[in-house]
Structure 1
Amino acid sequence: MELEVRHLRALCAIADTGSLHRAARQLGVAQPSLSTQLRRIEQELGGTLFVRARTGCRPTPLGRLVLSRARPLVTELRSLVTEARAAAAGGRQLRIGSTASRALAGWLRRLRRHCQEPTLHMDVSANALLRMVADGQLDVAFVHEVEGCPLRVPEGLSIRVLVEREPQFVSLPADHPAAAHPVVHLSDLAGDRWMIDPAVDGEWDAVRRVLRAAGINPRVLHGDYHTAASLVAIGEVVTVCQPTSLPRPETAVRRLYGDPLGVRLLLAARTDTELEGVYPDLVEAYREVVGQAPAYREWLESGGPGLPVPALP
């Protein structure tokens, strides 16, 4: 017997459901048939893949090894079928890469009106996303470039600038004394712990440079920004944030005095044609989230450099 894709799907279903009965229902086959198929697979591979017990099925060490190779193959085949069907229907899935942005949801919603369901690949590394576009793994990438830390843009990519300089704000506990003011001085945060994600290209270097320029050497925790948001909410840290970030009852989003830290928002693709197809929707989506962010909108209306798009409503 030679292993086929259907056999790999069966193994994944058994592992995912933890039960031959539930896996059989998921696959649309009879349980005795699935049990027979599993025995034949194990005979072919020369070992037991699952331990059967009253509590269900769990992979053996050999089973975990096989599953580690089977899952990517099954996922890749599923993507191939999806893209092939889209192409046969006259379209192709748009493969989007992005760093974190509140504009992303609105952008995807608008793109769905024009094309097949886009696929999305998120990464904190803008450089990694740009390489994926250059290698043909993504069609377009929406990324940010931290001021003073230029991205390594692969040769041949087309770039469109969404925002030349987006100021970065600060997220702090709502009961922090500095939150009582619309603009926060870095000196007001000198005694606080800061949390920074060092995996974001250029972020830690830029924040460290800004803090040093202000004569501040605070305690710093390294971690992702989802964790940072939770720690801000309980008063443990402060952190830089995008100006489109929305405050929550337990947090506040404030502008930093002098706007010492900024990023450039870029859209990258292999051709100008690919950019033209998605850029207008991104502009609309970004304008939408700006309109929802009071502190950022106030900054723009008070003389901050405007967006390279029509004025906000």
Structure 2
Amino acid sequence: MELDVRHLRVLCAIADSGSVRKAARQLGMTQPSLTTQLRRIERAIGGELFTRERTGSRPTALGHTVLSRARPVIAELAELVAAARREAAGAERRRLRIGSVGSRAVAAWLRRVHTRLPDTDTTIHIDISANNLLRMVAADEIDVAFVHESEGFPLRVPADAQHRVVIAREPQFVALAAGHPAARRPVVSLADLAGDTWMVDPTADHEYAAMRRAFAEAGLNPRVVQVRDNATADELVAAGEAVRPCQPTSIPGAGAVVRPVHGDPLAVRLLLAWRPGALSAPALDALHSDLCSAYLDLARVNPAYRAWLLQHNRTLRHLVAPPLAG
């Protein structure tokens, strides 16, 4: 007879309960069958493990030795089973992997997703490059991505990815020092800033090309520098050393203001992209709705954006594109 974990549990049950009768009740066995089981175990080991007394059963010296080794084995097995069950439960738990370019709407979007899907493991990956995020969607590294597309410079949407428009045309504003002469105007023109140094993030897809095209169409050729760090860029703007394009929902830093640009020469399209089969149609509708709501809340409380809407005779609902696949 070879011993297994069931036999070790029998020995521990007898030792813990203090009698074969009580152990049999705990194990769901009859007392005679447990007594027979114990005798077989003792024969396999080659010695008596318990002394039978009128008050119950007590481990012998050999019994104590066997029990001292049996208990850790049982405890480790119990932990192994518990860990496996936790792992299985985690694997079965729903997950949602979101990717996004930098946007103030992301935090509010995530709050809505967490509220609506409290039992879903939701993660966020931020990348300045929309094309990188689209590649991650196609490679099954993320499930859905919120991306910006510079006007006139289409993104390379992978063949096995789909997209839905969130905002058909978002104007890009400009951040400049509060002491800049143009800051006194509610709307500035590119010509007002032709003598300034402009900043651009070189890792943002097509941002530099879109800016250069706008300058060329306006007959301007201002100096453009590449700055990757947002904190440094904010400080340069506040110090009057440079200006930079920004999202219309942006909040100006200390010493800076945000202004619309006459004619909106810089604009982007906001898209939600996903891989077919990664999400159901209702899930995509809900994510799209959450994102649109988060974006509109930002636009609603932003004075510069509200002023732009009034100037263009538009309302908040005009910003959001209908939820149709692109």
TM-score above 0.5 = yes
The residue type equivalent to 1:252 in the other structure is V
Aligned to 1:302: 311
Q: How does 1:253-272 map to 2 (within 5 A)?
A: 253-271=258-276
Residues 1:82 and 1:289: Cα distance change in structure 2 (over 3 Å): farther
Q: What is the match of residue 131 of structure 2?
A: 127
Query: What percentage of aligned pairs have identical amino acids?
Result: 53
User: What secondary structure, in the 3-state scheme, does the structure 2 residue paired with 1:184 have?
Assistant: coil
In 1, Cα distance between equivalents of 2:97 and 2:252: 31
Structure 2 CA distance, aligned partners of 1:250 and 1:176?
10
Specify whether residues 249 and 86 from structure 1 end up closer, same or farther in structure 2 by C-alpha distance, changes over 3 A only: same
Q: Distance in 1 between matches of 2:182 and 2:86?
A: 51
Of 98, 101, 104, the match for 2:100: 98
Aligned equivalents of 1:145, 1:151: Cα separation in 2: 6
Matches of 1:255 and 1:210 in 2, distance apart? 15
Decide whether the 8 Å contact of 2:168 with 2:321 is kept in 1: no
Unaligned runs of 5+ in 2: 1-84
SS of the residue corresponding to residue 299 of structure 1 reads helix
TM-score, normalising length: structure 2: 0.66
- Counterparts of 2:229 and 2:288, CA distance in 1: 27
Deviation at 1:94, TM superposition (A): 1.0
For the 8 Å contact 1:83–1:92, the answer to whether it is kept is: no
Write out per-residue CA displacement over residues 172-200 of structure 1, whole angstroms, 9 at most, x where no aligned residue: 00110000001001111111111111211
Quick one: structure 1 residues 203 and 309, their matched pair in 2 at CA, closer, same or farther if it must change by over 3 Å? closer
Select 1:183's aligned residue among 183, 187, 191. Answer: 187
**Separation in 1, partners of 2:86, 2:192:** 53
Supply the distance in 2 between the matched residues of 1:83 and 1:245 (Cα, whole angstroms).
42
Residue 250 of structure 1 pairs with residue 221 of structure 2: no
TM-score scaled to structure 1, two decimals? 0.69
Change (3 A) 1:84 1:107: farther
Matched with 1:291 is 300
Write the letter of the residue equivalent to 2:116: H
Cα distance in structure 1, aligned partners of 2:115 and 2:195: 49
Give the aligned residue type for 1:278: L
Q: 1:5-20 maps to which residues of 2 (within 5 A)?
A: none
Stretches of structure 1 that go unaligned for 5 or more consecutive residues are 1-80
In the aligned structure 2, how far is the partner of 1:171 from the partner of 1:117? 37
For 1:94, what is the secondary structure of its paired residue? strand
- Specify the code of the residue in structure 2 equivalent to 1:151: L
Partner SS state of residue 250, structure 2: coil
Hey, what's the Cα distance between the residues in 2 that align with 1:187 and 1:105? 35
Which of 143, 163, 167 aligns to 1:163? It is: 167
SS at match of 1:229: helix
Secondary structure of 1:154 counterpart: coil
Q: How does 1:35-46 map to 2 (within 5 A)?
A: none
SS at match of 1:237: coil
Moved more, 300-309 or 193-202: 300-309
Aligned residue for 1:132, secondary structure, equals helix
Secondary structure at the aligned position of 1:259 is classed as coil
Once the two structures are superposed, residues 176-231 of structure 1 have per-residue CA deviations (whole angstroms, 9 ceiling, x without a partner) of 00000010011111111111112111100000111122222112210126032221
Q: CA deviation at 1:135?
A: 1.1
Which residue type is aligned with residue 173 of structure 1?
A
Residue 237 of structure 1 aligns to which amino acid in structure 2? Answer: A
Structure 1 pair 84–186 and aligned structure 2 pair: CA distance change class (3 A): farther
